[in-house]
């Protein structure tokens, strides 16, 4: 029997299962194409995510939550750029009972009008609370300026849209976007594929809806941006275009950026924090996606050291194109293998990884597939990739008491 199996329902829902023997939990990761980028108005899905949790399946919010709690289900409903995602973990022998309750979030939420204002208040409070976490402000602003609209929208929505939203908007957004076509459900654990398909097919047999049209990308803004905030800290955020998940060089980019800023042994941490003591935190990461992949680099420092911190971070990024050492390569490959194995022991992590694979690649990879991909990377290949790598224009956002002396010209790394 295959470890990972696929099935597509007549209504378009894609089901992926992975049998992991001898584990007690089952994890689900279910996504529908109802993210903020899919909205007509910025933030409709954010408010809808809150409202969908106010009762479902003909049950009030309390009764629905109590029913899930009685089955020991831990769940989270969140709204991203393109997808609204429901993740859940529970004991394997309770999956059959829990499935209709979980499916009801997408298929039959109550959407009570009496709770609309309370949901608005929660969303507005979350937006107001952003000022207390300047690092998060920098991250959201970085996406706003680096990504093209509407994929640059915040997962918090906007005050204007949330304040003015109506129940008609919420019901229309749910009807239009919470549809089976383009939806992906992943179930991992000690489960049988055939049984999961039968149970899910029964639960969604009356679920229908038109295929939502993907929005067109507009030109992004890029450049240098400063958000003034009366603070004793400065938060720096940079973004650079990177290969998408399906591109051949994606794995080479992963290794190179892991060496650059993926650990305390990485170049950023060593050069910026340890040797120069310029900041209290610094990191860089590369998250390959289906489209619009990027390297993101963050640093937190003081106003007195902010300018030099920014300059050294960019210098180290440019230095990366000159290549890596054998020691850096060996250490990073071992760390990537270890991390992959450890994530493979969690049903929740496997469900999330398989969901990402199915969306970005249109196929899934086993744990062995991922380890083999890492093991196949050669030291010479990474250096050959970096030798031709042109980072190009960098988008920069700073949050602090005053703007830094950073010009667009200084952010072009060739």
182-212 pLDDT, tens digit per residue, is 999 999 999 999 999 999 999 999 999 877 7
The whole-model pTM stands at 0.93
Instruction: Please give the Cα distance from 246 to 294 (Å, whole number).
Output: 14
Mean pLDDT of the region 120-148: 95
Q: Is the pLDDT of residue 112 over 90?
A: yes
Residue 413 has pLDDT above 80, yes or no: no
CA-CA distance, 337 to 343, in Å (whole number)?
A: 10
The DSSP symbol for 271 reads: I
Confidence of residue 218 (pLDDT cuts 50, 70, 90): confident
Predicted confidence at residue 217, as pLDDT, reads 72
pLDDT of residue 343: 83
Torsion angle (degrees, nearest 10) of CA 61, 63, 67, 72:
60
pLDDT confidence of residue 213: 76
Answer whether residue 103 shows pLDDT above 60: yes
* Per-residue pLDDT at 351 exceeds 70: yes
For 380, other C-beta atoms within 10 Å of its C-beta total 9
For residue 284, the SS3 value is: strand
Q: Which of 228, 289, 295 is nearest to 257 (CA)?
A: 295
Reported as half-sphere exposure (CB side, CA atoms, 13 A), residue 3 has a value of: 10
Asked if residues 142 and 295 have their Cβ atoms less than 8 Å apart, the reply is no
Residue 9, pLDDT above cutoff 60: yes
Predicted confidence (pLDDT) at residue 269 exceeds the cutoff of 90: yes
Q: Could you give the CA distance from residue 167 to residue 111 in angstroms, rounded to a whole number? A: 8
The two three-digit tokens of residue 323, written as one number: 């290549």
pLDDT at 1: 43
DSSP 56: B
Interatomic CA distance for residues 128 and 46, integer angstroms: 15
The structural domains of the chain, ordered by start, are 4-203 (3.30.830.10), 224-413 (3.30.830.10)
Q: What is the mean pLDDT of residues 339-365?
A: 93
Neighbours of 215 (CB within 10 A): 15
């Amino acid at each position: 029997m295959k470890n990972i199996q696929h099935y597509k329902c007549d209504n378009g829902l894609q089901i992926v299962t992975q049998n992991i023997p001898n584990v007690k939990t089952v994890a689900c990761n279910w996504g529908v194409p109802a993210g903020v980028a899919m909205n007509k108005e910025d933030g409709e899905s954010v408010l809808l995510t809150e409202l969908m949790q106010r009762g479902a399946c003909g049950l009030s919010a309390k009764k629905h939550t109590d029913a899930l709690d009685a089955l020991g289900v831990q769940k989270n409903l969140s709204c991203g750029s393109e997808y609204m995602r429901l993740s859940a973990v529970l004991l394997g022998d309770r999956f059959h009972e829990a499935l209709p309750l979980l499916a009801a979030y997408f298929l039959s939420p109550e959407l009570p009008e009496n709770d609309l204002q309370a949901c608005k208040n929660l969303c507005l409070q979350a937006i107001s609370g952003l000022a207390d976490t300047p690092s998060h402000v920098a991250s959201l602003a970085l996406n706003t300026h680096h990504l093209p609209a509407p994929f640059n929208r915040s997962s918090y929505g906007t005050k204007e849209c949330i304040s003015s939203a109506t129940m008609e908007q919420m019901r229309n957004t749910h009807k239009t976007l919470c549809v089976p076509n383009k939806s992906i459900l992943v179930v991992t654990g000690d489960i049988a594929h055939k049984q999961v398909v039968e149970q899910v097919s029964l639960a969604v047999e009356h679920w229908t809806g038109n295929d939502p049209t993907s929005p067109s990308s507009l030109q992004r803004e890029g450049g240098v941006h400063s958000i003034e905030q009366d603070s004793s800290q400065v938060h720096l955020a940079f973004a650079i275009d990177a290969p998408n998940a399906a591109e051949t060089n994606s794995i080479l980019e992963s290794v190179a950026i892991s060496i650059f800023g993926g650990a305390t042994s990485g170049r950023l941490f060593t050069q910026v924090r340890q040797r120069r003591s310029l900041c209290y935190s610094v990191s860089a990461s590369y998250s390959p996606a289906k489209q619009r992949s990027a390297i993101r680099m963050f640093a937190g420092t003081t106003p007195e050291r902010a300018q030099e911190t920014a300059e050294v971070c960019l210098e180290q990024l440019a230095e990366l194109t000159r290549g890596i050492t054998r020691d850096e390569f060996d250490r990073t490959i071992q760390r990537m293998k270890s991390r992959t194995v450890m994530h493979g022991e969690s049903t929740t992590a496997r469900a999330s990884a398989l969901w990402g694979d199915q969306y970005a690649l249109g196929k899934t990879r086993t744990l062995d597939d991922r380890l083999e991909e890492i093991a196949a990377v050669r030291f010479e290949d990474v250096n050959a990739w970096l030798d031709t790598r042109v980072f190009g224009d960098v988008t920069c956002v700073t949050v602090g008491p005053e703007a830094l002396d950073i010009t667009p010209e200084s952010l072009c790394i060739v």
